[in-house]
Amino acid sequence: MVGSRSGIRVLVAGGAGFIGSHLIDALLAEGARVTCVDSLLTGRRSNLAHLAREPRFDFVEADVTEPLPALPKAAWVFNLACAASPPHYQADPVHTMMTSVLGTSRLLEIARDTGARFLQASTSEVYGDPERHPQQESYWGNVNPTGPRACYDEGKRSAETLTFDFERRHGLDIRVARIFNTYGPRMRADDGRVVSNVICQALAGDDITVYGNGEQTRSFCYVSDLVDGLLRLMASETPLDGPVNLGNPHEMTVGELVDRVVRMTGTPSRIVRRPLPVDDPQRRRPDITRAETLLGWSPRVALEEGLEATIAWFSREIAPRRALPEI
Ligand code: NAD
Ligand code: UDP
């Protein structure tokens, strides 16, 4: 669909991160002009380094919890700004909460004042440790509001509330994507998430850390599928009436994921058990009926294929460091 967004101007908050940088690549490939706003808290310039000479791209370093500089008027605003991995979002929980509340509110105001369409990157974490399975958008969730994950979960729930209030009160054209676990190239090696941890540990021959008994489940979506879903959601002219789950319904235990990576890498790593983090959800699988029906979207990349690309990317990413002479 190259050229289908020709000339449209898009603001991507959080665009230097893992998902945001792939989204920007896809938007530019379709002919859009893109401004990225990012504080580089967990994002990296290297994710966007290949765009240094791209005239349709510009980067603004700013924290969305602070007053923002003047930004070019955009037709679409994507809000992906927020640390997403538990160790990172728990490092400064108040800032994480403020990013979702203050940051989202600032970006919503920009969209309201400029007439832009607004997409909020929400999360499966709004379902908490779900009592219903698989999770449908109509489920209100089971979140501990005072635990260590609450800064992220409740922050994102508040961001959803703000987004729907701007729709009700100001007639804003909004979309809310509830994103489930996503993986792929440009995840950080120090991210702390299970896919990046296990692959990096396997490639380095280090112990592979399984938290708890490894029986907890997740459903992993490859990043190109997720970006396709985000673009379809933003471009949709069908009335949506509520949030839309985006994720891969192929559910597996953490133990099964580890076995798969061990087999694919041929690593001699040992598997070691670590305590299950507080409030770690036991099961998670999206019901994607709404995305299928409203957007004609479903994931295409099989786990084996996605893991292969991610392992290859991490091999290149960590190889130069391993090759450095010891000093
Ligand atoms: P990421 O940490 O790689 O990207 C987040 C980006 O937001 C980073 O570039 C970071 O520097 C930026 N950021 C954080 N706080 C900011 C602030 N206050 N001001 C400006 N920029 C700020 O994470 P990701 O995996 O790419 O996630 C992107 C979005 O998708 C997040 O909103 C996350 O909550 C959501 N999400 C991701 C997943 C997943 O599995 N990766 C799952 C559900 C939801
Ligand atoms: N996990 C694990 N080993 C790790 C990192 C994570 O067993 O090295 C577990 C974690 O406890 C959770 C699952 O893998 O049950 C997914 O964790 P991740 O942080 O990737 O995503 P989230 O918990 O936010 O869904």
| Prediction ipTM score | 0.98
How far, in Å, CA of 121 to CA of 14, rounded?
A: 10
CA of 114 to the centre of ligand 2 (A): 39
pTM, two decimals, is 0.96
Identify the pLDDT of residue 327. 33
Per-residue confidence band for 320, with pLDDT thresholds at 50, 70 and 90: low
Identity (one letter) of the amino acid at 11? L
Which is more confidently placed, 239 or 33?
A: 33
Reduced to 3 states (helix: H, G, I; strand: E, B; else coil), residue 97 is helix
pLDDT by residue (tens digit) across 272-281? 999 999 999 9
Q: Is the CB of residue 197 below 6 angstroms from any atom belonging to ligand 2?
A: yes
- What tokens does 268 get? 């001699």
- What tokens does 316 get? 């290149």
Interhelix angle for 194-204 vs 254-265, to 10°? 30
Is it the case that residue 324 has pLDDT exceeding 70? no
Is the distance from CB of 143 to CB of 150 less than 8 angstroms?
yes
Conformational region of residue 57, where left means phi above 0, alpha means psi within -120 to 50, and beta covers everything else? beta
How far, in Å, CA of 218 to CA of 123, rounded?
A: 13
Is it the case that residue 186 has pLDDT exceeding 80? yes
Q: Is the CB of residue 86 below 6 angstroms from any atom belonging to ligand 2?
A: yes
How far, in Å, CA of 126 to CA of 119, rounded?
A: 16
How far, in Å, CA of 197 to CA of 202, rounded?
A: 8
How far, in Å, CA of 12 to CA of 21, rounded?
A: 9
Is the distance from CB of 243 to CB of 305 less than 8 angstroms?
no
Ligand nearest to the CA of 283: 2
Per-residue confidence band for 2, with pLDDT thresholds at 50, 70 and 90: very low
Is it the case that residue 322 has pLDDT exceeding 80? no
Element (H, E) at 253: strand 251-253
Identity (one letter) of the amino acid at 115? G
Mutate to test the pocket of ligand 2, among 193, 260, 284 (most ligand atoms within 8 A of CB): 193
pLDDT by residue (tens digit) across 205-248? 999 999 999 999 999 999 999 999 999 999 999 889 999 999 99
Is it the case that residue 318 has pLDDT exceeding 60? yes
* Phi and psi at residue 212, to the nearest 5°: 70, -150
Average pLDDT score over the chain: 95
Is it the case that residue 326 has pLDDT exceeding 70? no
Greatest CA separation for the chain: 61
pLDDT by residue (tens digit) across 262-301? 999 999 999 999 999 999 999 999 999 999 999 999 999 9
Element (H, E) at 11: strand 9-13
Identify the pLDDT of residue 3. 57
For range 76-99, the mean pLDDT: 97
Is it the case that residue 306 has pLDDT exceeding 70? yes
Catalytic site residue 152? yes
Strands 174-179 and 57-61: unpaired
Reduced to 3 states (helix: H, G, I; strand: E, B; else coil), residue 46 is helix
pLDDT by residue (tens digit) across 126-177? 999 999 999 999 999 999 999 999 999 999 999 999 999 999 999 999 999 9
Is it the case that residue 108 has pLDDT exceeding 60? yes
What CATH topology corresponds to 9-186+221-249+285-300? Answer: Rossmann fold (3.40.50)
Per-residue confidence band for 4, with pLDDT thresholds at 50, 70 and 90: confident
- Protein residue with least CA distance to atom 5, ligand 2: 194
What is the percent of the chain with per-residue pLDDT over 90, rounded to a whole number?
Answer: 94
Element (H, E) at 177: strand 174-179
Residue from 259, 245, 241, 288 nearest 198 by CA: 259
How far, in Å, CA of 220 to CA of 129, rounded?
A: 17
Q: Give me the helices (H) in the chain, please.
A: 18-29, 86-91, 93-98, 104-114, 150-170, 194-204, 223-235, 254-265, 289-295, 303-323
Ligand nearest to the CA of 157: 1
CA of 85 to the centre of ligand 2 (A): 9
Identify the pLDDT of residue 15. 98
Q: Is the CB of residue 127 below 6 angstroms from any atom belonging to ligand 1?
A: no
Identity (one letter) of the amino acid at 150? A
Identify the pLDDT of residue 325. 40
